[in-house]
Structure 1
Amino acid sequence: MYNKEKEIRFKVKEGDIRNYIDSFLEHLGGTLKGNHYILDNSKGKIDWLLYEFIPGFQLVIGDVYMKQSTVVERELEANTDHLHIGIFKSGVIHHQFEDDSEVLGPQESKDIFISNGLFPIEAHLPSYQYSAVGIKIKRGTFSQLLPHSDALLEELFPSNTPMRYHLKKNNEVEMLMDEIFHSMTLKDWKNPLVMAKGLEIFTFVIQSIQVSKGSDELYGLHIEDYNRLIEIKEKLLSNFEQKVVLEELATEFGISVSKLKRDFKILFNTSVYQYFMNAKMDEAYKRLQSGKYSVSEIAYDLGYKNLATFSRMFKKVKGLSPTDVAVIK
């Protein structure tokens, strides 16, 4: 039986963005020059700009593409004082299920995620490139910038209840995301323009939350939902030969299909099918690199009855054929 190679896995304490950079430098490598973090090695590529132009308001913007399976365990804050906002601009996701019935990609992500630091989330850095803006803001700074929105913050996170919300970007935020990434390409005036756009994005995101609260557009995840999703994830990863059927999965865990799809998207920023397929192809990639198994052995072991289907799927997800990986030592 195949012994699964260890993935890159490390912990980051939630809160200050510097915690992330310190852990990334230690476990992935790269360099930090001023406010610019760059990683470009066999593990992957990261290009981040970091800003803290107001005390308690931190902004990170840039691109990520990991070549190796990488999991970041986010440790809880003892006394959470931060609001965490992630806005995804783009990501190329290739997905095709075994029976060719569903094909997805490339696509633009239109997602915003908002949380406090009370979910012990494992973030799987995907094997496709994505661009995003991250904002970490202390509650005191939030109150200084938007004093009229204190009630909104308490409504979203009553008594520091563990919560994570998902929201689609509106046109204003979409436009500002384009502008802030364009500002990154400028030689002159880059820093002030990026900082200004970062504040605008934050303001419009909070405004969008205010408008959307109480509707289906703003969907929250409670701690019991989180625990259920971890069990679902473990079931998916326990058997790569299985065929995932949402109706059966939802029934087994006592929820509706619509809730399963919404909750999974909120926590993992991908669909159940996409998550399973990416994990499956990550496993195939590691086995190919080990040199211990043939392409056909791996395909059949992962539940594929047709070698051509496996090869086509692998290339869609990883961007190269299985035989190309097999010769990489």
Structure 2
Amino acid sequence: MLFSFTSTPDFDFMTYFARHIQATVQNGLLVMPEHVGQGYIRKLVFEPDFKITIHRYSLKEDLIIKRNASGQRNDLITVFFYNNEQALEIAYNDDTQVLFSQRDESAIQVTSNDLSSTIRFPAYQTIHYVVVAIKPLRLTELLAVSEPNSVLQTITGSGNSFLFFERMGAETKLLLKNMAAVDMNDRLSHFYMQIKVQELLYLVFHKLSFRESAAHQTINSADVERLLYIRNEIISDLSVPPVIRELAQVAAMSETKLRQLFKQTFGTTIYNYYQQARMEEAAFLLKQGKHSVGEVGYELGFSNLSHFSRLFEKHYGLNPKRYSYS
């Protein structure tokens, strides 16, 4: 099932999606018809320039959501929380979609509404994602930062195209889980949810506020598509360190541009991103209990197991053996 829309400030996703699947909306709630699947979409409007849409459902066919650029510059900021066990496929240039994540299928995306995107959700699997839409001025008032870094300036500024990805931490996952369990029939549920959405935004922008302050590089949908492809190349074989020259050739970018845009989008260098993914994969394999420390280290390209142990302990506070039993 394909649902395509243009991301303008006055566009109401739930209303048009309900028409698309021949369903009705009552009191901000869309219950999925049986012929489509099961679950719901819920929208809460806190103010005209600040709202949240909660998606929680399982459908009988793949769902492809295609967002077309509005042609207007940064009049709406979208913060997208994807918290699933299945991999997210996302594209920004109508090209082949790539998996956003490997072992940890959760992600946070902060974007302006002038980038097109296509997201595919698989059939017969529980979809859980939350979208917060807020205008720059309202976000500026909420953040109330006297000296914002370049990232916050870009997001809350006028006429900027941007896309920032953040990993989703345990605190954010727990918050989303608690929000999904709220009894919306409670008289104060709307008030509670507004507080929790602001807490969500705090967790995201607190991380972004600590990113290195640097001049913002202009980015477009084609650039983002290439960056996601490069990211997928990096994590496809974690036993081999990335070679910037080769990745730049694949991305059809200069090495300088690739380094700058990757760090701007993902908040760290290509090599550091690779090392973080490497440690996350090691932690995943160790927790399975099917591999020894040596097997995990060698599988991830470490010829020196002492170096592997030191690096792992630096990331997780425990050496690999103790972590596998924790």
Q: What band does the TM-score fall into relative to the shorter chain? A: 0.5 to 0.7
Alpha-carbon offset, residue 222 of structure 1: 2.8
For 1:226, the equivalent position in structure 2 comes to 224
Fraction of identical pairs, as percent: 14
Check 1:192–1:142 CA distance in 2 against 1; reply closer, same or farther (3 A cut).
Answer: same
CA distance in structure 1 between the aligned counterparts of 2:50 and 2:158, rounded to whole angstroms: 22
Amino acid at match of 2:105: S
CA contact (8 A) 1:13 1:77 kept: yes
CA distance in structure 2 between the aligned counterparts of 1:253 and 1:108, rounded to whole angstroms: 25
1:297-312 correspondence to structure 2 within 5 Å: none
Please say if 1:113 is aligned against 2:106. no
CA distance in structure 1 between the aligned counterparts of 2:44 and 2:87, rounded to whole angstroms: 29
For 1:179, the equivalent position in structure 2 comes to 178
Task: Return 5+ residue gaps in structure 1 as ranges.
Answer: 1-7, 95-104, 234-243, 267-329
CA contact (8 A) 1:91 1:106 kept: no
Tell me the secondary structure at the aligned position of residue 65 of structure 2: strand
CA distance in structure 1 between the aligned counterparts of 2:28 and 2:218, rounded to whole angstroms: 33
Tell me the secondary structure at the aligned position of residue 33 of structure 2: strand
RMSD: 4.0
For 1:195, the equivalent position in structure 2 comes to 194
Check 1:194–1:156 CA distance in 2 against 1; reply closer, same or farther (3 A cut).
Answer: closer
For 1:38, the equivalent position in structure 2 comes to 31
Alpha-carbon offset, residue 11 of structure 1: 2.0
Check 1:221–1:130 CA distance in 2 against 1; reply closer, same or farther (3 A cut).
Answer: farther
Instruction: List per-residue Cα deviations over 1:245-278 (Å, max 9, x = no partner).
Output: 999x96654579x99xx89x98xxxxxxxxxxxx
Q: TM-score, normalised by structure 2?
A: 0.58
1:1-329 correspondence to structure 2 within 5 Å: 8-16=1-9, 18-79=11-72, 80-92=74-86, 109-127=105-123, 128-148=125-145, 151-152=148-149, 153-156=152-155, 160-184=159-183, 187=186, 189-213=188-212, 222-223=219-220, 224-226=222-224, 228=226, 252-254=250-252
For 2:269, the equivalent position in structure 1 comes to none
Tell me the secondary structure at the aligned position of residue 91 of structure 1: coil
CA distance in structure 2 between the aligned counterparts of 1:59 and 1:149, rounded to whole angstroms: 26
Amino acid at match of 1:144: E
Query: Please, which moves more after superposition, 170-179 or 114-123?
Result: 170-179
Instruction: List per-residue Cα deviations over 1:302-322 (Å, max 9, x = no partner).
Output: xxxxxxxxxxxxxxxxxxxxx
CA contact (8 A) 2:14 2:43 kept: no
Tell me the secondary structure at the aligned position of residue 29 of structure 1: coil
Alpha-carbon offset, residue 197 of structure 1: 1.0
Alpha-carbon offset, residue 157 of structure 1: 7.0
CA contact (8 A) 1:71 1:125 kept: yes
CA distance in structure 2 between the aligned counterparts of 1:34 and 1:185, rounded to whole angstroms: 11
Amino acid at match of 2:111: S
CA contact (8 A) 1:89 1:108 kept: no
Instruction: List per-residue Cα deviations over 1:214-269 (Å, max 9, x = no partner).
Output: 69xxxx99324235479x79xxxxxxxxxx9999x96654579x99xx89x98xxx
CA distance in structure 1 between the aligned counterparts of 2:201 and 2:219, rounded to whole angstroms: 23
For 2:283, the equivalent position in structure 1 comes to none
CA contact (8 A) 1:143 1:149 kept: no
How many positions carry a matched residue from both structures?
Answer: 231
CA distance in structure 1 between the aligned counterparts of 2:36 and 2:102, rounded to whole angstroms: 23
Alpha-carbon offset, residue 150 of structure 1: 8.0
Check 1:17–1:49 CA distance in 2 against 1; reply closer, same or farther (3 A cut).
Answer: farther
CA distance in structure 2 between the aligned counterparts of 1:150 and 1:27, rounded to whole angstroms: 45
Check 1:20–1:169 CA distance in 2 against 1; reply closer, same or farther (3 A cut).
Answer: same
Instruction: List per-residue Cα deviations over 1:46-76 (Å, max 9, x = no partner).
Output: 4122111123111112313232233222121
Q: TM-score, normalised by structure 1?
A: 0.57
Check 1:135–1:17 CA distance in 2 against 1; reply closer, same or farther (3 A cut).
Answer: farther
CA contact (8 A) 1:16 1:136 kept: no
Alpha-carbon offset, residue 154 of structure 1: 2.5
Amino acid at match of 2:191: P
Check 1:107–1:66 CA distance in 2 against 1; reply closer, same or farther (3 A cut).
Answer: farther
CA distance in structure 2 between the aligned counterparts of 1:139 and 1:157, rounded to whole angstroms: 5
Alpha-carbon offset, residue 45 of structure 1: 3.5
CA contact (8 A) 2:80 2:131 kept: yes
CA distance in structure 2 between the aligned counterparts of 1:55 and 1:225, rounded to whole angstroms: 32
